[in-house]
Amino acid sequence: MPLSHAYGTPPEKSAATRLLNEALDLGYDFFDTAALYGFGANEELIGEAIGHRRHDYILASKCGMTGVDGQRVIDGRPETLRRTLDDSLRRLKTDVIDLYYLHRWDKTVPIEDSVGELGRFVAEGKVRAIGLSEVSAATLRRAHPVHPIAALQNEYSPWSRNPELGVLAATREIGAALVSFSPVARGFLAGSVTNPDGLPDKDIRRAMPRFQADNLSTNLSILERFQRLADNSGCRPAQLSLAWVLSRGDHVIAIPGTTSLQHLRENFQARLLEIDAGVLKQIDGLFAQGSIAGARYAPATLAEIDSEEY
């Protein structure tokens, strides 16, 4: 997402192309995009930059939340999902998407209707497996009998523990992956956000309560202690956050985003870290319920999602 959307000015296409190919060269093999990101620009980037290496990676994209006339729109009607898929296949320069998510559940459309259409995409050979994003365990269990759900993507990191309220267990029970987006807390646990005024004008974090001045000052005191744990473990804070996420279960996958080649390489090494169980337990305590100041999203956005919230 940050290569095209939401975190200020995206990098030049040449730099983004280099980063995507470097990721493949390192051994990354799971790439996650969406019709929403850059209102199609991110899918076009992937198609142009690494479409010729299509057999080297698992490709995931999303529908149900797109850009319409410059505005983000949630629309889960089957006809809209089908139109979005056809546009995505064209932009991605492929005839099949390995994992296709419903990016957001449109609460005006029964989840069974949206998932039923995604299942038809599988039957038609345009999609290999389907997933959901930002939904609760209850909604996952409603959807799964309609068509098997291969993956559920929710925000999960030491400072966003909401999946532990239901979906961490539910995904394990049905045999689905839990794909953790923002596993480094939107850069916060990498130490990249220390001043809200330093965020770019169009950065989505400016509207997120956790990054606003009063809350951020509280959260930075927790970050200092987290950074000490990383130093004592001989790794970078972002790597420690990723290692913590990966420790949550064999079915848990982390998808860190970055525009930095250095961070790309550091993130990839996190999977090899052997973090002491005592350190992981300290992280659990450091980020216990109520320790982080501010909600994940502003109230209007929280109303759009279905995932469990503390």
Q: Which residues contact 63 (CB under 8 A, 6 or more apart)?
A: 34, 35, 80, 81, 84, 85, 88, 100, 101, 102, 103, 118
| Whether 233 contacts 35, CB under 8 Å | no
* β strands within the chain, DSSP E: 30-32, 58-63, 65-68, 71-74, 97-102, 127-133, 149-155, 177-181, 252-255
Considering the candidates 37, 100, 101, 156, report the single residue annotated as catalytic: 37
Q: Which residues contact 71 (CB under 8 A, 6 or more apart)?
A: none
Residue 310 annotated to the active site: no
Where does residue 28 rank: exposed (0-12), middle (13-18), buried (19+ CB within 10 A)?
Answer: middle
Catalytic residues, by residue number, are 37
